Amino acid sequence: MGEIKSGEKTRVLVVGATGYLGKRIVRACLAEGHETYVLQRPEIGLDIEKVQLLFSFKKLGARLVEASFSDHQSLVSAVKLVDVVVSAMSGVHFRSHNILVQLKLVEAIKEAGNVKRFLPSEFGMDPPRMGHALPPGRETFDQKMEVRHAIEAAGIPYTYVVGACFAAYFAGNLSQMETLLPPKKKANIYGDGNVKVVFADEDDIARYTAKTMDDPRTVNKTVYIRPQDNILTQNELIKIWEKLTKNELEKTNIAARDFLANIEHLEIPHQAGIGHFYHIFYEGCLADHEVGEDEEASSLYPDVKYKRMDDYLRMFL
């Protein structure tokens, strides 16, 4: 499983390519000049949006590869075509929760023996730091750890890309739950609103992912997406919006115990969401530890002109 030779095009297989982050990773890999393969699964059936998305990738220059998670040999054949496998399978409770399906991918990569780097589906909080997380949301971290252990036990070279709140879910709504749009009059503030949080545009997350996958500096490392200008408290994020709109919001501070009150009476996806918000906005799990420049994406790839949150919020004006 040697390194990718410089000067050669890196061949990448994207799994979960029609998903929320996956489609961005496909486009970023193509833009980066990687020879990009996309897994096309027969389970897609009559899902017209996904089928059309796959063929739009083909138009952009990606190659479609048929394989199924229920057919081990087809997966082995697919991964034998490439140097790098990146997975963007969903790991959130309100969509589909498919983290452990990646164990089949690990088996295929192990058998194929040619893959020089595997990037499993991560892109959020750093699972080894989340052993204390609240159930049922901790299931996401436990399962990601199970996948990591399998990768490392198989001796597969890896890169774990972690560390930021997706802007569309956490920034555009000023981190309000149950909406993706900025509030017009009132905003809930978690605790005192002064806990540092990391925000990143999903297209930037995809671009960093496409750059790190064949970078010798990041083999068997965790890469944190923590762009300096996007480390903001919730109060700072709201101030940016108030400055843009010239309108002050009415704010309500919610104490941690009130935020978690009655959590057990809610639907499971909602419970998971509240737990994740709690770890991000009350505990500050994204920015409460030091990260060296050699493991931080915006330092490793300064050529990516990442989107600042004032720019991001302008689209809602």
Q: Please write the tens of the pLDDT for every residue from 117-139.
A: 999 999 999 999 999 999 999 99
- Residue 31 sits at the vertex; the CA angle it makes with 168 and 106, to the nearest 5 degrees, is 75
Q: How confident is the model at residue 45 (pLDDT cuts 50, 70, 90)?
A: confident
Cα torsion for 183, 186, 191, 197, to the nearest 10°? 20
86 pLDDT more than 90: yes
Residues 165-198 pLDDT 10s: 999 999 999 999 999 999 999 999 999 999 999 9
Question: Known catalytic residues?
Answer: 144
Distance CA 273, CA 277 (A): 6
Burial of 290 (0-12, 13-18, 19+ CB in 10 A): exposed
| Model pTM score | 0.96
Q: Please report the DSSP string for 210-262 in residue order.
A: HHHTT-GGGTTEEEE---GGGEEEHHHHHHHHHHHHT-PPEEEEE-HHHHHTT
The reported pLDDT for the residue numbered 183 is: 97
Give the pairing of strands 117-119 and 231-233: unpaired
The reported pLDDT for the residue numbered 94 is: 59
Cα 93 to its chain centre, rounded Å, is 14
72 pLDDT more than 80: yes
Residues 17-29 pLDDT 10s: 999 999 999 999 9
Q: At residue 70, what is the residue type?
A: S
* Region 139-144 average pLDDT: 95
Mean pLDDT, all residues of the chain: 95
Residues 257-277 pLDDT 10s: 999 999 999 999 999 999 999
* Region 93-105 average pLDDT: 83
Q: How confident is the model at residue 8 (pLDDT cuts 50, 70, 90)?
A: confident
Residues 204-246 pLDDT 10s: 999 999 999 999 999 999 999 999 999 999 999 999 999 999 9
33 pLDDT more than 80: yes
Q: How confident is the model at residue 7 (pLDDT cuts 50, 70, 90)?
A: low
